């Protein structure tokens, strides 16, 4: 499995780097990465994470289409970076708690390893990925939490390459947060006339 895991990890780094740069190619690169990781996680009996990759496949397509279409409020048809509102944050937190409980219970019954930890990072990853497709700055904060939890989970399952990848993702998520904050700040500055 090491070869497939290594290829998925390499594509993951490229995909996140492209996302930080807000480059459209992050999405097709991500499609290949999640397909490979679906196999890796299924083989490791991390069923929620394997299922997450299948869902991510659809979310990668959604993100690709959404970023390509841009937004009427964006400059020149480019989708702008935005912030999550307080009410939205409360709703997403409730989704995280309920989703973790439901998925953790279901995967525990199926004999999954670390069912509630896996479920937590799975549900938070789904939320973060959806918000990233919408270019919500706060998605990077969620990815930071996912990365920290994932490092421990993958180390416990002896997925060393993937744990190292998530350590790298942690650094990239911090860089992404900074870059998207700058992008958001640039939007707040009125254009010179």
In the predicted model, is pLDDT for residue 168 greater than 50?
Answer: yes
Between the CA of residue 179 and those of 17, 18, 175, 182, 183, what are the distances in Å? 11, 12, 6, 5, 6
CA distance 10 to 37: 11
Q: Give Cβ neighbours of residue 58 (< 8 Å, ≥ 6 apart).
A: none
Write out pLDDT tens, residues 106-162. 989 988 889 999 899 989 999 999 999 999 999 999 999 999 999 999 999 888 888
Mean pLDDT of 74-100: 88
3-state SS, one letter per residue, for 143-182:
HHHHHHHHHHHHHHCCCHHHHHHHHHHHHHHHHHHHHHHH
Mean pLDDT of 52-76: 80
Looking at residue 185, what DSSP letter applies?
Answer: H
Please tell me the predicted confidence (pLDDT) of residue 82: 93
Mean pLDDT of the chain: 89
In the predicted model, is pLDDT for residue 189 greater than 60?
Answer: no
Contact of 55 with 110, CB cutoff 8 Å? no
In the predicted model, is pLDDT for residue 74 greater than 50?
Answer: no
Identify which of 71, 77, 59, 55 has the alpha carbon closest to the alpha carbon of residue 19.
59
């Amino acid at each position: 499995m090491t070869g497939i895991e290594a290829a998925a990890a390499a594509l993951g780094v490229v995909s996140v780097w492209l996302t930080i740069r807000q480059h459209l190619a992050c999405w097709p690169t991500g499609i290949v990465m999640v397909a490979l990781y679906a196999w890796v996680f299924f083989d490791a009996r991390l069923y929620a994470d394997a299922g997450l990759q299948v869902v991510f496949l659809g979310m990668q397509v959604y993100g690709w289409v959404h970023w390509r279409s841009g937004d009427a409020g964006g400059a020149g048809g480019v989708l702008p970076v935005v912030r999550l509102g307080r009410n939205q944050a409360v709703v997403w937190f409730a989704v995280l708690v309920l989703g973790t409980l439901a998925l953790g219970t279901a995967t525990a019954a199926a004999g999954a390893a670390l069912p509630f930890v896996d479920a937590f990072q799975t549900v938070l990853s789904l939320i973060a990925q959806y918000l990233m497709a919408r270019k919500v700055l706060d998605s990077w904060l969620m990815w930071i939490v996912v990365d920290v939890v994932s490092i421990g989970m993958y180390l416990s399952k002896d997925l060393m390459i993937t744990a190292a990848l998530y350590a790298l993702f942690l650094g990239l998520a911090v860089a992404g947060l900074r870059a998207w904050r700058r992008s958001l700040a640039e939007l707040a500055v009125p254009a010179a006339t």
